[in-house]
Amino acid sequence: MNAVERWATDLAGWAIPPEILAQAKESPWEVPRNVFIRRADRQLGTPSTPTHQAVLDYGGTVLDVGAGAGAASLPCARALSHLTAVDTNAKLLAEFAERAAALSLPYRTVEGRWPDVHAEVGMVDVAVCANVLYNVPDLRPFVRALEKHARRVVLELTAAHPLTGMNELWKRFHNLDRPAGPTADDAIVALRELGVEPEVVRWRKDPAPMPFDERVAVTRRRLCLGAERTEELAAVLASEEIGTRRMITLLWSPDRMQ
């Protein structure tokens, strides 16, 4: 098994067992829109991450894949001449559009999944894709489509799979052992297998502020627990400390000879 295949296999290991999923009255995979909106609003006008800096360094026309409300791209508006946002969620794209318009930034939105909609996008200076890669089992077409449309590619992801922080909770509430990978380092190995040699920037991010009640509700859905377990889960989460999160930004300029 090569690195690209191992990436897909490791991601498949995060599937929730059918007997647990059958108990869920709400989708465990749905993240409230407010999470993405707060993330974008918190950073508007104050680009503060290596991912933002990479976008600012090149500027011009930008493609934001998995844009959400625009947290990875809109903070860089001063350096952009046009911004295209791609996302599967129409309501988040509407939030993105509202903020881009308020910044007087020329933009367009494309609803759909990358790379399925790549033909609707033209050539850009920079393609940025933040916190999406762990939802991409088939890396090759995803990455190749980014390279086809951009002179510079910027990928951001957590150093570890973002759900590993809940592994102890899965063990506590379901006696279920969850995977430890894949990791960002596994993604780097897979990209190298695809002929990409990215610049790697490692950094840390403070935990995103979230009302405690919302954190409990999101975690409960993630764990496929019923509402009757809310107080029990809240007591556990209240005793947890949330530290900084290790992040990685990957940057490269595509080889047009590929």
235 burial via Cβ count (<10 Å: 0-12, 13-18, 19+): exposed
Architecture (CATH level 2) of domain 3-252: 3-Layer(aba) Sandwich (3.40)
pLDDT of residue 218: 93
Q: With a cut of 50, list the residues of the chain below it in pLDDT.
A: 257-258
Ramachandran bin of 123, using left for φ above 0, alpha for ψ from -120 to 50, beta for the remaining angles? beta
Quote the strand ranges of the chain, DSSP E.
Answer: 60-65, 80-87, 107-111, 124-130, 150-158, 199-205, 245-252
pLDDT of residue 256: 54
Strand order in the sheet with 245-252: 107-111, 80-87, 60-65, 124-130, 150-158, 245-252, 199-205
Please state the pTM of the whole predicted model.
Answer: 0.94
- pLDDT tens digits along 206-258: 887 889 999 999 999 999 999 999 999 999 999 888 888 999 999 999 975 44
Q: Domain spans of the chain? A: 3-252
The rounded Cα 187 to chain-centroid distance in angstroms is: 14
The rounded Cα 247 to chain-centroid distance in angstroms is: 11
pLDDT of residue 257: 41
Q: Residue 110 — φ and ψ, nearest 5°?
A: -130, 115
